[in-house]
Amino acid sequence: MAAVQETVDRVRQIDVDQYRYGFETIIESEKAPKGLSEDTVRYISAKKNEPAWMLEWRLEAYRRWLTMEEPKWARVEYPKIDFQDLYYYSAPKPKKTIGSIDEIDPEILETYKKLGIPLREIEALEGVVRPEGERRIAVDAVFDSVSVATTFQKELKQAGVIFMPISEAIREHPELVKQYLGTVVPTSDNFYATLNSAVFSDGSFVYVPPGVRCPMELSTYFRINERNTGQFERTLIIADKGAYVSYLEGCTAPQRDENQLHAAVVELVTLDDAEIKYSTVQNWYPGNSEGKGGIYNFVTKRGDCRGDNSKISWTQVETGSAITWKYPSCILRGDNSRGEFYSIAISNGYQQVDSGTKMIHLGKNTTSRIISKGIAAGKSQNTYRGLVTAHRKATNARNFTACDSLLIGDQCGAHTVPYIEAKNASTLFEHEATTSKISEDVLFYCIQRGLSQEEAVGLVVNGFVKDVLQQLPMEFAVEAQKLISISLEGSVG
Partner 1 sequence: MTALLEVKDLQVRVEDREILHGLTMTVNGGEVHAIMGPNGSGKSTLSHVIAGKPGYEVTGGEILFKGEDLLEMEPDERAAKGVFLAFQYPVEIPGVTTMNFLRTAVNAQRKARGESEYLVPDFLRKVREVAASLNIPMDMLKRGVNVGFSGGEKKRNEVLQMALFQPSLCILDEMDSGLDIDALRVAADGVNALRSPDRAMVVITHYQRLLNYIVPDHVHVMSKGRVVKSGGKELALELEESGYAQYEDAAA
For partner 1, the closer of residues 285 and 464 by Cβ is 464
Q: In sequence order, which residues have a C-beta less than 8 Å from that of residue 219 and are 6 or more positions away?
A: 121, 137, 138, 139, 140, 247, 248, 249, 250
Q: Among 292, 440, 482, 486, which residue interacts with partner 1 (rule: CB under 8 A)?
A: 440
For partner 1, the closer of residues 2 and 46 by Cβ is 2
Dmax over CA atoms of the chain, in Å, equals: 67
Binding part of the chain for partner 1, among 50-58, 86-94, 240-248, 442-450 by CB under 8 A, reads 442-450
For partner 1, the closer of residues 125 and 461 by Cβ is 461
**Is 106 in a helix, a strand, or coil?**
helix
For partner 1, the closer of residues 55 and 447 by Cβ is 447
Q: Do 401 and 431 meet the contact criterion of CB atoms below 8 Å apart?
A: yes
Q: Is 123 in the site for partner 1 (CB under 8 A)?
A: no
The nearest distance, CB 491 to partner 1, in angstroms, is: 18
CA angle 300, 304, 308 (to 5 degrees): 165
The nearest distance, CB 452 to partner 1, in angstroms, is: 5
Q: Do 444 and 414 meet the contact criterion of CB atoms below 8 Å apart?
A: no
For partner 1, the closer of residues 95 and 449 by Cβ is 449
Question: Exposure of 52 by Cβ count < 10 A (0-12 exposed, 13-18 middle, 19+ buried)?
Answer: exposed
For partner 1, the closer of residues 53 and 445 by Cβ is 445
Q: Is 465 in the site for partner 1 (CB under 8 A)?
A: yes
Q: Is 434 in the site for partner 1 (CB under 8 A)?
A: no
The nearest distance, CB 480 to partner 1, in angstroms, is: 14
Binding part of the chain for partner 1, among 2-10, 135-143, 187-195, 203-211 by CB under 8 A, reads 2-10
Q: How far is CA 319 from CA 226, 418, 460, 490, in A?
A: 22, 22, 16, 12
**Is 161 in a helix, a strand, or coil?**
coil
Q: Is 441 in the site for partner 1 (CB under 8 A)?
A: yes
Q: Among 2, 46, 428, 478, which residue interacts with partner 1 (rule: CB under 8 A)?
A: 2
For partner 1, the closer of residues 332 and 376 by Cβ is 376
The nearest distance, CB 481 to partner 1, in angstroms, is: 11
The nearest distance, CB 3 to partner 1, in angstroms, is: 5
Question: Exposure of 85 by Cβ count < 10 A (0-12 exposed, 13-18 middle, 19+ buried)?
Answer: exposed
In angstroms, rounded to a whole number, what is the distance separating the alpha carbons of residues 200 and 218?
Answer: 21
The nearest distance, CB 474 to partner 1, in angstroms, is: 16
The nearest distance, CB 4 to partner 1, in angstroms, is: 9
Q: Is 346 in the site for partner 1 (CB under 8 A)?
A: no
In angstroms, rounded to a whole number, what is the distance separating the alpha carbons of residues 305 and 331?
Answer: 6
Q: Is 433 in the site for partner 1 (CB under 8 A)?
A: no
Question: Exposure of 459 by Cβ count < 10 A (0-12 exposed, 13-18 middle, 19+ buried)?
Answer: middle
Q: Among 453, 471, 485, 491, which residue interacts with partner 1 (rule: CB under 8 A)?
A: 453
Length of the chain: 493
Q: Is 3 in the site for partner 1 (CB under 8 A)?
A: yes
In angstroms, rounded to a whole number, what is the distance separating the alpha carbons of residues 328 and 187?
Answer: 17
Binding part of the chain for partner 1, among 33-41, 252-260, 459-467, 482-490 by CB under 8 A, reads 459-467
The nearest distance, CB 440 to partner 1, in angstroms, is: 7
In angstroms, rounded to a whole number, what is the distance separating the alpha carbons of residues 120 and 129?
Answer: 10
For partner 1, the closer of residues 138 and 460 by Cβ is 460
In angstroms, rounded to a whole number, what is the distance separating the alpha carbons of residues 436 and 414?
Answer: 10
Q: Is 455 in the site for partner 1 (CB under 8 A)?
A: yes
Q: Do 355 and 314 meet the contact criterion of CB atoms below 8 Å apart?
A: no
Kindly list the residues in this chain that would bind partner 1 in the complex (CB under 8 A): 1-3, 5-6, 439-442, 444-453, 455, 459-460, 462-467
